[in-house]
Amino acid sequence: MERKQVYWDDVKVGQEIPGYTLKIDWTRQVKQVSGSQDFYAVHHDPDFARAAGHPQPFVNTGFMQGCFSRLMTDWVGDEGFVRKFRMEMRKMNFVPNDKTGTPGDTMSMKGRVTEKYIKDGEHYVEADVWAENEREGVTTPSKCTLILPVRG
Amino acid sequence: MAKTPEEMLVEARKLIGAETKPVQGRYPVEYDPIRRYCHMTDDINPLFLDPEYAKKTKHREVVCPPLMVANFAGPGIWPPATDLPALPPVITPGDRNINLTTEYEFLKPVKVGDRLSVKSRIADIYIKAIRLDPKAFWTETERIITNQNGDVVAKTRNTGLRHRTPEQVKAAGDA
């Protein structure tokens, strides 16, 4: 299997980092518990979530980190390295609400290059990365610092 | 008479600066938890999933997705370990948790077979209002994660809060 490799030389400030979309349904929420090993009930028990003041269970920090991990590592490839990451869980991405019939959020992961530079011999890219849904817009604004290989 | 949130904060803030010794994770970095982690987001990156593919890269071994690294260090995330050293519990008026901001700095790749340890520290505790609770307790913690060679592989800072339910806020007269 050949994987595409992005090189620092070819990156332009303002360019988009290829994203993807995930539907937040109950199957996804089960995978979230399996993958993140976060069994806190606010993420899978509607009654518990509502008692705490939330309309519905929502995806957890580990899941969001996994989504950003996929976004960044898909782009930097095998030769790149995620150097820094900062994530803000400002708004939530909800599972379907069976009482109201409200569907689960469709979450899109996106990114854009904001800066590129060389420091101490390494080739850096700074990027804004975020999750958004149709209901709230940007839910999880985040920033990352990535190291990319150079051609030749 | 129950303590007020402000009185509880005075006690809680005495914990600022508390830290653990380095605590080794229960298990080495392993293939199968990484597979499940990738499965939750439909991540099919062969560097995380395919040992034969990884062998042919500069890494020579399956790599741990960067934001999963902390899962293999210290007590892990769930169920809470009671037999490993942990930070002292912060006693708060509420018992409902929300995680807010996570910061990571990565210094070295982590691969299957690595043994990770973590040293944790309470950096700050304060009260700040949120929509659900005007006196939510916010806690900032820092972690330094090292590998079996003593190399620092990651540093993290996490901000989370604990709040009361709307009923608890109302009962306390804080609504």
ipTM at complex level: 0.95
Residues of A in contact with B68 (CB under 8 A): 65-66, 69
DSSP for A12-56, please give it: -TTPEEEEEEEE--HHHHHHHHHHH----GGGT-HHHHHHTT-SS
**B147 and B128 assigned to the same domain:** yes
**B97 and B48 assigned to the same domain:** no
Q: Is residue B143 part of a domain?
A: yes
Q: What is the CATH code of the structural domain delimited by A8-147?
A: 3.10.129.10
- According to the model, what pLDDT value does residue B86 have? 85
The pLDDT of B153-173, averaged and rounded, is: 94
- 0.80 surpassed by pTM: yes
Report CB contact under 8 Å: A51, B40.
no
pLDDT at B6 over 90: yes
The pLDDT of B11-35, averaged and rounded, is: 94
Q: Domain count of chain B? A: 2
Report CB contact under 8 Å: B166, A53.
yes
Paired strand residues for A125: A116, A146
Residues of B in contact with A38 (CB under 8 A): 77-78
Return the CATH number at B135: 3.10.129
Measure Cα distances from A91 to A34, A35, B134 in Å. 23, 22, 18
Query: pLDDT exceeding 90 applies to what percent of chain A?
Result: 94
Residues whose CB falls within 8 Å of the CB of residue B20, separated by 6 or more in sequence, listed in order: B74, B85, B86, B87, B118, B119, B120, B121
- Chain B contact present for A29, CB below 8 A: no
Confidence of residue B145 (pLDDT cuts 50, 70, 90): very high
Report CB contact under 8 Å: A42, B97.
yes
- CA B80, chain centre distance (Å): 11
Q: How far is A13 from chain B (nearest CA, A)?
A: 22
Q: For A106-140, how does the pLDDT look when each residue is reduced to its tens digit (9 = 90+)? A: 999 999 999 999 999 999 999 999 999 999 999 99
